[in-house]
Structure formats: structure tokens, C-alpha cells
Amino acid sequence: MRRPHFVPFAATFLLLALLPAQEPKPPQPAVLVTGASSGIGKKTTEVLAQSGFFVYATARKPQDLEALGKLANVQAIPLDVTKQEQIDAAVATVRAGGHPLHGVVCNAGIAVMAPLLELHERDLQQQFDVNVFGAWRTAKAFAPLLLEHKGRIAFTGSLSGTVNWAFGGPYCMSKHAVEALTDVLALELQQFGVQVSVVEPGNYRSEIMQGMQERLVAGGYGGDGSRWQKQLERLKAQPTDRAQYPEPDDVAKAFLAAMRDDQPKRRYLVVPNQREAELTIRAAVQRVVQLNQAQPFAYDRDALVKLLDEALRAK
């Protein structure tokens, strides 16, 4: 007669009872990314999600939200940064999600291109409503959650926050404002342990040119009577796919560094070639020279070099 098999099972249960109880794993820290539907925002979402973060990826269009929702470690949230009620709803979703909010990447943006003297005020308002007020609204709304966890904020800037170009006035103005937004917010939040950065990309593959051209046409810019008709017609004829530029992998890595490094940089200049780096640094240096030129307390060359050396040592 075969003996019953309850003894080995009982021994197993006894062994399990003697083992120390395993504590549940803490939830993944979360990062919210605005404007995650394509380009820099989508690539940043993918890199963050693959690097241990749970990502709340936001977009406006249902098809983009559906695609984002299929990514691992990603929850898609509908969000238009010009609508406060949608921002508030996103805050409620994140608060209820169970993942401590470690960071916010304010990436949502548009580009308006037009001669400043022919620009419609409504288009300038739209440019600032998305790129500046939208970023400010988002940072302000999520600040309580970030303060709880001494988190991070990173804005998407641009070379155009330093380098200005003809017909890019609305976009350049908005990105110059993002520079100030970054610096002031960093000063105000440093006492609370919240760190603020801006990532400043050069030319990478994205859909920005397509949207820019669509707004140029919709605004009626460059038509009959325009002082800049020939130049703007050439801009309208340029290809919009930006296939000649690399994918924004390095930009996404910069956002990852801003979220993960113990001491994130205030500014991350990310460009695909030496020419764009030189263009940007030269523009910054030229502004210093212009500020110093023929003013009552102007520095001579040696004094300017000394200031530069001091700044380099400080960093």
C-alpha cells in the first residue's frame, strides 16, 4: 500500500513559513512627458521607459495616444497644454497612479514662422500659449508632486533660444522665454531640492517643419504685397520630412541625464555637428561683446578672459 504524499507538502509549507517575508518592490519612479506623439517627445518617452522609469506620455490625438499606450512602462494620457482642465485631469491621473513623480519633461511645442512686421497677433499668441505658457502651466500644476519627491523639471529649448534667424521671430522669442523660465524656476526651486534643466537641440528629424509650413500657408504669409514674398515662397517649397537630419537619440539621452544624474546640468546643448555648436556659442559670445561694447564700465579683453576662466572653473 502506497503512503500518502502529504508529508513532503507539509515540509514545503513549513520551509516557506520559515523563510523571511519578501517586501514588495517599490513602485517605479515616474516621469511625465508632454508632446510625446512624435520626434523628440516620443524618442524621450521610449528612452526613459527603457531606463527604469514609468512614463506618463501625453498627446492630443487619439491615434497617437493609442500608439503610446502600446509601449512597455508607458501610460498614455490625453493632454493639450493650452487647456487647464486637461492639465488638472492629468495631475489627478498621476497622483492616483501609485508611481512617485520624479520628473516632468515639458516638451510640447509648435513653431510659427513669419516676418514680424506682417505677423498676425493671434499667431504670436498661439506660439506663446503652447511653448511658454503651456510649459509654465504644466510645471506649475505638477510642482506639488515634484516637491514631495525632490524631483526634476526639464524644458525643451532650442538653438533658437540663443541663435536668431529671419522669419523665425515668433519661435525664437518663445525659446528665449524658455531660457528665462528655466533660470528663474531653478533659482526659486533650489531651496526645495527640485532641479531644473533645459535641453537645447539643434536640427534633428521631427515634424516641426511640416507644422511650420502649414501655419505659414494658413496665415497667408508671403502672398501678394508681402515685402518678403520671394523668400517666403522659397521657404514654402522646402521639403518638410527633414530626412537629412539624424534621429533625436542624443536629445533623448540628454533628457535621461537631466532626470537621472546626481548633478544635472542647467543647459544641455545637443547638436548633430560642429557647425551648429559653433554657431550657438558664437552667438552667445557675440551677445556678451555687444553688452560690453562702449558702456561706462566696459571690461577690457584681459578682464573678459578672466571672467570666462572664473566661470569655467566654477563649473
**Catalytic residue positions?**
171, 175
Q: Which residues contact 259 (CB under 8 A, 6 or more apart)?
A: 31, 48, 53, 102, 103, 105, 152, 154
Please give the grid coordinates belonging to residue 29: 519612479
Smallest Cα–Cα separation from 29: which of 55, 11, 4? Answer: 55
DSSP-H helix ranges across the chain = 6-18, 39-50, 62-69, 84-96, 121-128, 134-148, 169-189, 208-218, 229-237, 249-260, 274-292, 301-314
CA–CA gap between residue 191 and residue 125 (Å, rounded): 33
Q: Give the closest residue to 151 by CA, choosing from 258, 296, 65, 231.
A: 258
Q: CA-CA distance, 246 to 250, in Å (whole number)?
A: 9
Phi, psi of 177 (to 5 degrees): -65, -35
Sheet holding 30-33, edge to edge: 74-78, 54-59, 30-33, 101-106, 152-156, 195-201, 267-270
User: Residue 279 and residue 287: Cα distance in Å, rounded?
Assistant: 12
For residue 219, the SS3 value is coil
